[in-house]
């Protein structure tokens, strides 16, 4: 069974050189494409203290958390993670890393033997060093090759996302 766990930032986002307000975050959109392609449960790792909706304030918060190696509290966790074989882990790439709230989520579990399939949205930085970050956070898990989606192209990425997701669960 698949779990699609993600963090997605709604509100102001940097999209193709301009600040745009998104009602649905790019990462959430990609997570939904994965669920449609391979099935599974969706879980949004939402922070107790929301990130600022203002883009510049948000990235300052994200950078401060990264520098402090913070583990911001999240609103909840998946009850029984043992039933999942593949865990898709999605996030916006902030400062070359996944948001620290995803570390909070992942470190809550023993992920030994699980397959972790990372995906991120970004405006040109690709996966950054987030796959290396995942290897240190998800001890004992198998990390498969991640998928990077250009945020501005997220709404039109369903076919690309579906192909990667189907390959990731094999």
Domain interval for residue 108: 2-168
What is the residue-averaged pLDDT of the chain? 94
145: helix, coil or strand? coil
Q: What CATH number does the domain containing 162 carry?
A: 3.40.50.360
Mean pLDDT confidence for 98-102: 96
pLDDT at 1 over 90: yes
pLDDT in tens, 9-21: 988 888 888 888 8
Domain count, the chain: 1
154: helix, coil or strand? helix
DSSP 76-125: ---S-GGG-SEEEEEEE-BTTB--HHHHHHHHTS--TT-EEEEEEEESS-
Q: What is the pTM of this model?
A: 0.95
pLDDT in tens, 107-140: 999 999 999 999 999 988 899 999 999 999 999 9
> What integer pLDDT is reported at residue 134 of this predicted model?
95
Closest CA to 46 of 68, 73, 24, 66: 73
DSSP 42-72: EEE--BSSPPPSSHHHHHHHHHHHHHHT---
pLDDT in tens, 37-63: 999 999 999 999 999 888 899 989 999
pLDDT at 165 over 90: yes
């Amino acid at each position: 069974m698949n779990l699609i766990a993600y963090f997605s930032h709604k509100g102001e986002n940097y999209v193709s050189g301009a600040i745009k307000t998104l009602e649905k975050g790019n990462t959430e959109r990609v997570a939904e494409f994965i669920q449609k392609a391979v099935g599974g449960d969706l879980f949004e790792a939402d922070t107790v203290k929301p990130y600022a909706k203002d883009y510049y304030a948000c990235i300052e918060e994200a950078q401060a958390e990264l520098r402090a190696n913070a583990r911001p509290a999240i609103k909840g966790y998946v009850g029984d993670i043992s039933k999942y074989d593949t865990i898709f882990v999605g996030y916006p790439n902030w400062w070359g890393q996944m948001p620290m709230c995803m570390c909070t989520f992942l470190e809550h579990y023993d992920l030994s033997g699980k397959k972790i399939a990372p995906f991120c949205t970004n405006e040109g930085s690709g996966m950054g060093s987030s796959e290396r970050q995942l290897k240190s956070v998800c001890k004992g898990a198998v990390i498969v090759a991640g998928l990077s989606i250009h945020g501005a192209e997220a709404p039109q990425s369903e076919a690309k996302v579906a192909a990667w997701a189907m390959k990731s669960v094999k």
